Amino acid sequence: MKILIVKSSSMGDIIHALPVAHDIREAMPDAEIHWVAEESFRDIPWLAPAVTKVHVQAFRRWRKSWLSSATRREVAAFRQALAAERYDVVLDIQGLLRSALVCRWTGRPSIGYTRRTVREPIASFFYSRHLDLPEEMGAVLRYRTAAAEALGYPLRGGDAVFGLDAKAEPVPAMATPYAAMAVNTSRDEKLWPEAHWVTLCRELLARGLPSVFYWGSAVEEERVRRIAAQVEGAVVAPRAPLAAVAAGLKGASLTVGVDTGLSHLAAALGCPSVGIFVSTPLETLRLFGDGPVESLGGVGKVPGADEVLAAAERVLARGRA
């Protein structure tokens, strides 16, 4: 059976969907699993060994120049590649108009959420079969349940298994134990105070863990360099492809991060991780992973550096056990 999973963005959402690939492979060992991802996140589905092909879309770039000849050629090639696969099952767990459109481009019947539970209601009109799974279930359980219901296998109990494999050369390549810091996020209201980062990193250094900071834009680089300048031995990693960053996270002894894709990625890779959530309800979103994780905070709750440090010590201890 050839299966297409449509979950193209954002980074954290794709990561939370990756247990679907593991579940399908466990239930259906001979299934061929393909994935659709936005070009910025094309490296993420490849971390799941069960995924054998990634179709790359570029809606974020295409929408800036829909009428250009270059965009029309790229879209036509993308549609032709999807249609040529002749999928047995097309499952949209994104639930947006653009993801439903991708399903239509396959030329095959597709499965998605009901109008009541889909993110953009118009998308439900594109599906041949509907799944009534509300977002309140939480992302990871919702995605896993959608695949199980769509493909007709029983959902395995217990925690989600990611089973990811980061094979690229890590960035940075460090021989000593280190703590990875995911300081940046897409929205300012999710940031943790810089003074707290400085205190935390100094305390971790006293415990033998120098800090490595990751960034993805000029503004983010400025922020991490401000923090790193106040912490002895701190390293600002060079900007690198996500596959190399993933390998760097997997090699860390600890990751601490705000609600951002890198935090979710580190947890999924099995790195002992602490998530700091200051504007996100933990009832619907938190860290999930194959290693020890803790999530702190919540809407309007800003954990102190001492609280985060205590959580870091707990996940490190569980990781060593």
Q: How far apart are CA 22 and CA 277, in angstroms?
A: 27
- Contact criterion met (CB below 8 Å) for 133 and 145: yes
3-state secondary structure of 232: coil
Type and span of the H or E element at 319? helix 305-320
How many contiguous H segments (helices) and E segments (strands) does the chain have? 11, 12
Dihedral class, residue 165 (left if φ above 0, else alpha if ψ from -120 to 50, else beta): beta
| pTM, rounded to two decimals | 0.95
3-state secondary structure of 147: helix
The CA-atom distances, in angstroms, between 245 and each of 87, 166, 203, 219 are: 32, 9, 24, 18
Question: Tokens representing 155?
Answer: 């959902």
pLDDT in tens, 295-308: 999 999 999 999 99
Pairwise CA distance, residues 267 & 278, whole Å: 18
Burial class (CB in 10 A: 0-12, 13-18, 19+), 32: middle
Q: Which residues pair with 235 in a beta bridge?
A: 212
Q: What is the pLDDT along the chain (321 residues), one digit of tens a residue?
A: 999 999 999 999 999 999 999 999 999 999 999 999 999 999 999 999 999 999 999 999 999 999 999 999 999 999 999 999 999 999 999 999 999 999 999 999 999 999 999 999 999 999 999 999 999 999 999 999 999 999 999 998 888 999 999 988 898 888 889 999 999 998 999 999 999 999 999 999 999 999 999 999 999 999 999 999 999 999 999 999 999 999 999 999 999 999 999 999 999 999 999 999 999 899 888 999 999 999 999 999 999 999 999 999 999 999 987
pLDDT in tens, 100-132: 999 999 999 999 999 999 999 999 999 999 999
Distance CA 256, CA 201 (A): 10
